[in-house]
Amino acid sequence: MPGRNEGTDRFCPVCSGPLGLGDSGPDSLVDALQASESRFRAAFADAGIGMALIGSDDRIIEANPAFAAMIGREAPNLVRTHIHEIIDPEDTPRRLYLELLRGERDRLRVEKKLKHREGHAVWSNVTISLIRDGAGHPMYTLAMVEDVTEQRLLGDQLAYQAMHDPLTRLPNRTLFFERLNALFGPGQLAEATEAPDAADAADAPVPDPVDPVGPGELDSSARPDGPDRLPQLTELAGQGKRVGLCYVDLDGFAAINETLGHHVGDELLVAVAARLEHGFARGDGRLVARLGGDEFAVLVCDSDGSEQLTSLAAELIKMLEEPFDVAGQQLVVTASVGVVERRIVETTPTDLLKDADATLYWSKADGRARWTLYDPDRGAHQLTRQRLATALRPALERGEFTVEYQPLVGLADGTVHGAEALVRWRHPRYGTLSPDRFIPLAEESGAIVPLGKWVLEESCRQAKRWLLEFPDAETFVSVNLAARQIWDSDVVADVAQALKLTGLPARLLQLEITESAVLGPGGRPVQALQALADMGIRIAIDDFGTGYSNLAYLSRLPVHVLKLDGSFIEGFRDPAPGGRPDSRFRRTDADEQIVGAMVQLAHALGLTVTAEGIENASQAERLRLTGCDTAQGWYFARPGEAERIAAILREGRVRSA
Ligand code: C2E
Ligand code: MG
Ligand code: MG
């Protein structure tokens, strides 16, 4: 292509007017030049690419038809047109162009936005070459212009698609993180190197404390040398700036999807997105994004405090409560929101999102349809919960668990009938942990399956020892089974194996299952129950009375024992005071009647009854009068080592009730 060639004398003939060329030299040279000129003219005129010669006065000397067509004009009319009528003057390329004109560079490639005559923009790649005269002095420039509008629009389109959710058209997770990271930016001091999500920070050099301020704003003589000056710097850097995040999740969205179909679910999401965007997106300051599924986020880039965020969350919840018209029906949804608000310097994008996620989870756990503001204390607790959960399995392998036993005492004669096995975690750092601290975590993580299996074996082994030492006592062991053990593992096989391994007769094993675990996820009683009962094992319903089951229904299942929850017995605590009919007395009286009726009904249905949480003699006595069979509680004995049970068995009775 001619323009690529910078040999000037070959191109001078191109220009018709201002150049006094070819005034000397042999005819053959003139001929050659003329031939060259006509070749170039033809190429110039017919080129598919836009071309223009531009003089040093920034006016067009000549433009070809392709260039003229690109901007909706006629080539002849472009002669003497100032280039600023066609392009936007921009600083940097202009500076480079002037360098080119001065001969300091020979070529320049820029992307330029040209003005079409009808007003719209034409994106172009422009290559500008300097044309020099015979003596090497700059004369004018040749611009070759390629229309890249379509590529550019396509690129924009792709960029848009990469950053937006196709269903709701809201900014997606990628854009959300891009904006969030930009807030923290390379100016983030200490965090910049720590935040794994801050993409820019990863490649950035060690952050210079002066960078966030920019040159000129900080007197360099005031630049601190020691790290102890940093806090002041962060203030200078305007890093009192705050950020807020509302992390939104619709309640029960999965059910809508399942019952009404995905198309209804999708339409609902679109409607929710529209409401959120309309209500809360504001220019650069706020971003409403869809983070996935039915999760949305409102990012407040310039928060002025947690109150702003919590009232935003409240407003948001209220806004979503209004019914939605979707697919010809009215749908009512609620949302749970986790709110985090803090100073930017005190956090990282990762922590912000992690805490928002935890807070959203609290909203769900506390009953949904609400917002919850992040609470660092609760968060710290969460941390240890998480640590404990991951430590469970290794702890089991290291043998950090033990089982304590608490006697189950016959109320009629005060003898020990059996003992409940209660697991403990002897944690090397936190001391002895009660099961309430880690059993729920073990259930969540699935670690309950190996842990429960271990407890089962350990307890059976212990009961077998009691049997060997006291062959006539027939002391049984009562082991708690978690719902997940029954639903998710082959509990029947595990129990059979434990009995076989330890040699304990099945009749000396009782399994405690809560009401909710007896009925599986589908609301039907779990099959394992019958299989276990058929093996000759006794099944007890633990914490009875805290659920909703129907006693008559339970009695039709292979269940043998009801363990009344401790809360029933609480009212039994004080002896009825001297016949004085105060409210306390009346309540005690009512509790006694309820328990009495329950015991009678259970007996009529063929169940035996155990009461939990007996703490004093009067409770024990009152309970005995109701006809309750066995009892368990601190009054008789606290949970303790297996040897305590043996000692009581040796004595014959724990305490006369
Ligand atoms: P649970 O099965 O209802 O066990 C009775 C709980 O009441 C035990 O708490 C026991 O120490 C406590 N307790 C006994 N007597 C009294 C009393 O007089 N007053 C009061 N206030 N409490 C009394 P612990 O040992 O902390 O166990 C709590 C729960 O942890 C158990 O409740 C049981 O649901 C669960 N658990 C314990 N060990 C295991 C296990 O090996 N596997 C499973 N899945 N759960 C277990
Ligand atoms: Mg129990
Ligand atoms: Mg219980």
If one counts every other C-beta atom within 10 angstroms of the C-beta of residue 603, the result is: 14
Mean pLDDT for the stretch of residues 168-195: 73
Lowest-confidence region among 219-223, 259-263, 271-275, 629-633: 219-223
Nearest CA owner, ligand 1 atom 12: 613
> What tokens does 444 get?
């969540």
The residues, any chain, with a CB within 8 Å of residue 248's CB and separated by 6 or more, are 276, 295, 296, 297, 298, 316, 335, 336, 337, 360
Cα(481) to centroid of ligand 2, in Å?
8
Nearest CA owner, ligand 1 atom 44: 482
User: Is the distance from CB of 33 to CB of 39 less than 8 angstroms?
Assistant: no
> Which 8-state DSSP code applies to residue 415?
-
In the structure, what pLDDT confidence band is assigned to residue 204 with cuts at 50, 70 and 90? very low
Average pLDDT of the chain?
82
- What is the per-residue pLDDT across 362-407, written as a single tens digit (0 to 9) for each? 898 888 899 999 998 887 776 677 788 889 999 999 999 999 999 9
More confident call, 423 vs 548: 423
Q: Residue 203's pLDDT is what? A: 32
| Distance between CA atoms of residues 185 and 191, nearest Å | 10
Residue 576 has pLDDT above 70, yes or no: no
More confident call, 23 vs 383: 383
Nearest CA owner, ligand 1 atom 30: 435
- What is the per-residue pLDDT across 496-533, written as a single tens digit (0 to 9) for each? 999 999 999 999 999 999 887 887 666 666 788 999 99
Mean pLDDT for the stretch of residues 587-614: 85
Query: Cα–Cα–Cα angle for 464, 466, 470, nearest 5°?
Result: 120
Q: Which one, of 76, 78, 61, lies nearest residue 18 by Cα? A: 61
User: Is the distance from CB of 188 to CB of 195 less than 8 angstroms?
Assistant: yes
Cα(389) to centroid of ligand 3, in Å?
23
DSSP character string of 344-404: GGG--HHHHHHHHHHHHHHHHHTTSSSEEE--HHHHHHHHHHHHHHHHHHHHHHTT-EEEE
Cα(475) to centroid of ligand 1, in Å?
19
DSSP character string of 435-464: HHHHHHHHHHHSTHHHHHHHHHHHHHHHHH
Lowest-confidence region among 315-329, 343-357, 582-596: 582-596
Q: Residue 549's pLDDT is what? A: 61
| Distance between CA atoms of residues 373 and 338, nearest Å | 6
Instruction: For a ligand 1 pocket test, name from 459, 612, 615, 623 the mutation site with the most ligand atoms within 8 angstroms of its C-beta.
Output: 612
Residue 559 has pLDDT above 50, yes or no: yes
Q: Which one, of 317, 357, 315, 316, lies nearest residue 338 by Cα? A: 357
Cα(559) to centroid of ligand 2, in Å?
15
More confident call, 204 vs 107: 107
Gap between the terminal Cα atoms of the chain: 111
Mean pLDDT for the stretch of residues 209-237: 33
Cα(478) to centroid of ligand 2, in Å?
8
In the structure, what pLDDT confidence band is assigned to residue 428 with cuts at 50, 70 and 90? confident
Residue 7 has pLDDT above 80, yes or no: no
In the structure, what pLDDT confidence band is assigned to residue 324 with cuts at 50, 70 and 90? very high
Residue 656 has pLDDT above 90, yes or no: no
Nearest CA owner, ligand 1 atom 20: 613
CA distances from 474 to 385, 469, 470, 560 (A): 40, 10, 8, 17
Q: What is the CA radius of gyration of the chain?
A: 41
Q: Which amino acid is at 504?
A: L
Query: Cα–Cα–Cα angle for 255, 258, 260, nearest 5°?
Result: 95
CA distances from 545 to 297, 479, 563, 612, 633 (A): 41, 19, 9, 12, 17
Cα(431) to centroid of ligand 2, in Å?
22
Q: Which amino acid is at 229?
A: R
- What is the per-residue pLDDT across 451-504, written as a single tens digit (0 to 9) for each? 999 999 999 999 999 999 999 999 999 999 998 898 877 899 999 999 999 999
Furthest-apart CA pair in the chain: how many Å?
Answer: 141
Lowest-confidence region among 50-59, 110-119, 200-209, 519-528: 200-209
Mean pLDDT for the stretch of residues 187-207: 34
Q: Give the ligand 1 atom nearest the CA of 639.
A: 11
User: Is the distance from CB of 54 to CB of 143 less than 8 angstroms?
Assistant: yes
pTM, full prediction: 0.53
Instruction: For a ligand 1 pocket test, name from 396, 402, 422, 513 the mutation site with the most ligand atoms within 8 angstroms of its C-beta.
Output: 422
Q: Residue 588's pLDDT is what? A: 61
Cα(422) to centroid of ligand 1, in Å?
6
User: Is the distance from CB of 264 to CB of 236 less than 8 angstroms?
Assistant: no
List ligand 1's pocket residues with C-beta within 6 A.
406, 422-423, 434-436, 439, 452, 455, 480-482, 512, 542-543, 566, 612-615, 632-634, 639
Q: Give the ligand 1 atom nearest the CA of 434.
A: 26
The number of the ligand nearest the C-alpha atom of 478 reads 2
Nearest CA owner, ligand 1 atom 35: 435
Lowest-confidence region among 107-121, 461-475, 547-561, 608-622: 547-561
Q: Residue 584's pLDDT is what? A: 44
The number of the ligand nearest the C-alpha atom of 482 reads 1
Nearest CA owner, ligand 1 atom 21: 613
> What tokens does 323 get?
């019914």
> What tokens does 588 get?
């005690």
The number of the ligand nearest the C-alpha atom of 408 reads 1
- What is the per-residue pLDDT across 100-158, written as a single tens digit (0 to 9) for each? 888 888 888 888 889 999 988 899 999 999 988 888 888 889 999 999 888 888 888 88
Q: Give the ligand 1 atom nearest the CA of 403.
A: 41
Q: Report long-range pairs for 36-41 (Cβ below 8 Å, ≥24 apart).
A: 36/10, 36/11, 37/13, 40/2, 40/11, 40/13, 40/14, 41/14
Nearest CA owner, ligand 1 atom 23: 613
More confident call, 228 vs 29: 29
Q: Residue 105's pLDDT is what? A: 86
Query: Cα–Cα–Cα angle for 428, 432, 437, nearest 5°?
Result: 110
DSSP character string of 133-182: -TTS-EEEEEEEEEE-HHHHHHHHHHHHHHHB-TTT-SB-HHHHHHHHHH
> Which 8-state DSSP code applies to residue 526?
P
Q: Give the ligand 1 atom nearest the CA of 565.
A: 3
DSSP character string of 85-149: GTB---HHHHHHHHHHHTTS-SEEEEEEEEEPTTS-EEEEEEEEEEEE-TTS-EEEEEEEEEE-H
Domains, in order of start, for the chain: 47-147 (3.30.450.20), 153-195+235-380 (3.30.70.270), 385-651 (3.20.20.450)
| Distance between CA atoms of residues 632 and 640, nearest Å | 13
Residue 275 has pLDDT above 90, yes or no: yes
Maximum average pLDDT range among 190-204, 280-294, 568-582: 280-294
298 burial type by CB count under 10 A (0-12 exposed, 13-18 middle, 19+ buried): buried
> What tokens does 300 get?
């407040």
